[in-house]
Amino acid sequence: MAVELTEEQKKSPYYKYYEREIKEVPPKLMKRIMTEKFDDSEALLFVDKNKLFEDGYLPGEFGVFHLPSGGYEVANCTQMPGVTPEMFDWWFAWHGLDPMRYIIWNKDEHYYCKTRNPEIALNEKLTMKERYWHTTHDVKESMLKDAPVVDLILNFLPPEEMGFDPEKLKAFQGTIVCTPGMVHFLRPTEHGSELRTRFWFEDPNVPFDEMAARALLAHNVKEYTHLAEILPELYAEFKNKFLFRES
């Protein structure tokens, strides 16, 4: 069941995107996500994340992997035709200003998102990257449709502060959106962009099991598949409209 809207949200200029169909993860893929035993030797360790700059693909581009630390890595790769790195940076600067923007991203599982730093997101003197760097987003979402809602706090950082090589970053034609333990590595392709996502869960004080990791992978497939479909149109319509609205 889709997230319920307030009457005010139904008047939003984004409501037409809420009405769009959002595709479920295909059954065969969902079965793979929930049951396949992925090869743990293919995991990308956090310390090796600069391997993402290499041409081609790494062994574990998709799956849930047990890490030597006892934690988990979740990996996904999403084709995003028509999406540019500029659009992707804009999305992360833009969507935290109005919760409705987060809901239309995945209306089945996204309940709320708001930046604590609207003054940064609205600062036109900054680049799009800088308009989400060093910002904090409060998020409410579920990993699967009708599953319990969880509260998250996301702290966005410049990639060099996450340990990405500054020299490689200078030459990189894509963009990297990251928070501690999460990396969205977007690189250009002939038809748009390709998103390579990695999550690392290695904190023994944070309860996180294999089924939670598998649910996160399913959630990630669904949300980024849908974002790929709507982002070019959203960007064309709202790229210069950052105005903050309470919702």
Please name which of 141, 39, 129 lies closest in space to residue 85, comparing C-alpha atoms.
Answer: 129
Is the separation of the CB atoms in 84 and 187 below 8 Å? Answer: no
Is the separation of the CB atoms in 117 and 136 below 8 Å? Answer: yes
Helix (H, G, I), strand (E, B) or coil at 75: strand
Residue range 220-237: mean pLDDT, rounded? 98
How many C-beta neighbours within 10 Å does residue 191 have?
11
147, two tokens: 């599953």
Is the separation of the CB atoms in 226 and 21 below 8 Å? Answer: no
> Using 50, 70 and 90 to split pLDDT, how confident is the model at 1?
confident
Give Cα 186 distance to the centre of its chain.
11
Residue range 143-171: mean pLDDT, rounded? 97
What are the start-end ranges of the H helices in the chain? 7-10, 15-18, 27-35, 85-94, 99-103, 118-121, 166-171, 210-238
- In angstroms, what CA-CA distances link 124 with 131, 135, 221, 240, 241? 8, 15, 32, 10, 11
To 10 degrees, the CA torsion angle through 79, 84, 88, 89?
A: 150
Integer Cα distance of 197 and 184 in angstroms: 5
Residue range 155-180: mean pLDDT, rounded? 98
235, two tokens: 């960007």
Residue 129 pLDDT greater than 80, yes or no: yes
Task: Give the pLDDT confidence of 60-102 residue by residue, as tens digits.
Answer: 999 999 999 999 999 999 999 999 999 999 999 999 999 999 9
How many C-beta neighbours within 10 Å does residue 117 have?
17
